[in-house]
Structure 1
Amino acid sequence: MAGKPKLHYFNGRGRMETIRWMFAAAGVEAEEQHISSKADLEKLRQDGFLLFQQVPMVEIDGMKMVQSRAILNYIAAKYNLYGKDLKERALIDMYCEATMDLNELIMMVPFKPADTREKDEALIIERSSTRYFPVFEKVLKNHGQNYLVGNTLSRADVQLLETILMVEEVKADSLSKFPLLKAFKERMSNIPTIKKFLQPGSLRKPPTDAKTAAEAIKAFH
């Protein structure tokens, strides 16, 4: 029997968090090997484990996978979270790229100067409420189904839930004008595998604070 997937990254969210979400949604238990110093990262490089000298890196099925989108694609395809045909996969990809654009804005805030935080958070609130959430609200309204694509759970649903929760950490009532997204959040949060991930003790990481950001910078730069 194959061992658990092993996740190599610092002990924080960053580009590994969506990967943690995807494994959790698929009901797959993973383990972590934290990178806490430049020496840890350098050892992975010297051992030839990082194809492009970067993490995240995931050991799975005899591979040492890098590039977060490639890893996410692999997990989604392996665990049937990637639609039933090419058209569904195209929709899922579009939705996921949108959530990742928004995630990127949120992810970078703790690594930027403190005096820009208010401006950065205002941009996140503006983008989520005018560019991204209205689209997903409309998708759910138009097809009247529980999931974004094909009325079955896909990586698009998982990544949208992750993003919604991250936006709510910036502004708690972000879904106040989006009733279908609010209901979607409740449904997704109660899927047993996801519900487990949302409980204390899972691999889910808390929001990145200044201390965690400083530790990541120390290890990676």
Structure 2
Amino acid sequence: MAAKPKLHYVSERGRMEPIRWLLAAAGIEFDECFMKTKDDLLKLRKDGFLLFQQVPMVEIDGMKMVQTRAILNYIAAKYNLYGKDLKERALIDMYVEGLLDLNELIMTSDYQPADKKEQQLATALDKATNRYFPVFEKVLKDHGQDFLVGNRFSRADVQLLEVLLMAEECKPDILAQFPLLQSFKARISNIPTIKKFLQPGSQRKSPPRQEDVPKIIKIFY
């Protein structure tokens, strides 16, 4: 039996959270090894496990993979969440790249100084409402299917749901003008593997508590 993937990161969302989401959506159990101090990160570097001296790092199939997008691409391809041909993969890549950009804006706002946090979050939510979510509302309308690409569940669906839920945490009515995204959220949330990941006690992480932010920053910087 193959070893479970092992995820090396802090016990927070950060850049590892989309990876957790994708593994969970694929129904793959994984272990986590949390860095609690700067020394934990330095040890990974000293042991030669981090190609570019950075985490996230995922041990999978005998590899120690780094770079979030490379890890996500590998998992998506391995577990048939990457479309049926090159054209579908190209569409998935376009959607996911946009979602990761928005994810980064929302996620990193938690780690900004107080005077910049509110401004960055407001910018992120404005872009979500006026740039990103209208795109996916239109895709669902034009496509007329349950999923974003083809009529098949893919990584694009997983990562759109993750971002929708993150945005709603910050602004509960953000989907008010997007009925198809509301339906999409309900539909994808009911996929058994996703439904399990959304339950209390799963490996899904909560937003960082403000008092924990300085500790997290100290590990990385």
Mark yes or no: TM-score above 0.5. Answer: yes
Offset at residue 17 of structure 1 (A): 0.2
What aligned pairs does 1:151-166 form with structure 2 within 5 A after superposition? Answer: 151-166=151-166
2-side partners of 1:189 and 1:212: how far apart? Answer: 29
Offset at residue 177 of structure 1 (A): 0.2
Offset at residue 111 of structure 1 (A): 1.1
Task: Tell me which residue corresponds to 1:90.
Answer: 90
Q: Which runs of 5+ in 1 are unaligned?
A: none
1-side partners of 2:29 and 2:55: how far apart? Answer: 20
SS at match of 2:110: helix
Task: Tell me which residue corresponds to 2:137.
Answer: 137
Task: Tell me which residue corresponds to 1:172.
Answer: 172
Q: CA RMSD in A?
A: 0.8
Which one-letter code corresponds to 1:65 in the other structure? M
Divergent runs of 4+, >2 A: none
After superposition, the C-alpha distances for 1:36-70 in whole angstroms (9 at most, x for unaligned) are 11111111111111111110000000000000000
Contact 1:12 1:212 in 2 (8 A): no
Task: Tell me which residue corresponds to 1:148.
Answer: 148
Task: Tell me which residue corresponds to 2:220.
Answer: 220
SS at match of 2:32: strand
Offset at residue 116 of structure 1 (A): 2.3
Which one-letter code corresponds to 1:163 in the other structure? V
Which one-letter code corresponds to 2:128 in the other structure? S
After superposition, the C-alpha distances for 1:2-21 in whole angstroms (9 at most, x for unaligned) are 11100000010000000000
Q: How many residues align?
A: 221
Offset at residue 119 of structure 1 (A): 1.8
1-side partners of 2:122 and 2:59: how far apart? Answer: 38
Offset at residue 188 of structure 1 (A): 0.6
Task: Tell me which residue corresponds to 1:103.
Answer: 103
Task: Tell me which residue corresponds to 2:5.
Answer: 5
Task: Tell me which residue corresponds to 2:203.
Answer: 203
Task: Tell me which residue corresponds to 1:113.
Answer: 113
Which one-letter code corresponds to 1:159 in the other structure? Q
Scaled by the length of structure 1, what TM-score is found? 0.98
2-side partners of 1:119 and 1:43: how far apart? Answer: 36
